[in-house]
Amino acid sequence: MKILSWNVNGLRAIVKKNFIDVLKNEDFEILGIQETKLQANQIPPEIEKIPLYKNWSFATKKGYSGVATFSKIQPMNIKTGIDIKEFDSEGRILQLDFENFSFFNVYFPNGQKNDERLEYKLRFYNNFFKYTEKLRKKQPNIIICGDYNTAHNEIDLKHPKANSERSGFLPIERKELDKIIKKGYVDTFRALYPDTVKYSWWSYRFNARKNNAGWRIDYFFVTKEFFPQIKDAFILNEIEGSDHCPVGIEIKD
């Protein structure tokens, strides 16, 4: 089983590019997308026609945030949010429960706008993983994919020193990922490929993608209990259409 995650940076925009081809041609059972930037009445008809189970979480603010999960397998249970209004109102979290695992598609906040948003981002990390820790007592097999908006270590971005005081690579943000790992969540790509330099996001400025001056901020974290089921983890740099590229995992049969 293959599972993909992709920040599409506007679903309506990417549908006009290559998104339908990716849906039709890529080998996956589950796809989580982030930053859909639409409301329920704005879902492109091209998407509605694709024969997949489709689940959505919309932000209250129009044209902002939002996630969607498309799957070839029918989920047993679906939930939006973590029952905290300040986070749920931004449409950042979708939980789908399947027979053998719980799957989270998450668009973690960006903290670059101001100190208030940075604090919001840190609270989001803290409260989200409190929620998953409660769930973990009942369901230890958890997958958490999405745009985490933080590069963890220097290997995860092209210019670590130049960005050391920029949100996305601040020590206080990186510590949040340290905390996750200490709790027993595994960064699947880094665990399998400890020395591989590969990125998942590039600025639209300065020919960043052409020069591969990127950041790895899109992840699949899984609980250590589930990690033995991970066959592979990968980053699909060749797929364009957004400032992010898809990332994924393959689960053992």
Which residue numbers are catalytic?
147
Distance from C-alpha of 25 to C-alpha of 28, rounded to nearest angstrom: 9
Per-position b or e across 45-83, b if 16+ CB within 10 A of its CB: eebeeeebeebbbbbeeeeebbbbbbbeeebeeebbbbe
The total of other beta-carbon atoms located within 10 Å of residue 184's CB is: 14
Integer CA distances (angstroms), 45 to 11, 15, 140, 156, in order: 12, 10, 37, 37
Residue tagged 């997958």 (tokens): 143
Q: Which amino acid is at 120?
A: Y
Distance from C-alpha of 238 to C-alpha of 178, rounded to nearest angstrom: 29
The total of other beta-carbon atoms located within 10 Å of residue 134's CB is: 10
State the SS3 of 54-70: EEEECCCCCCCCCEEEE
What tokens does 158 get? Answer: 């092209």
What tokens does 195 get? Answer: 């020395």
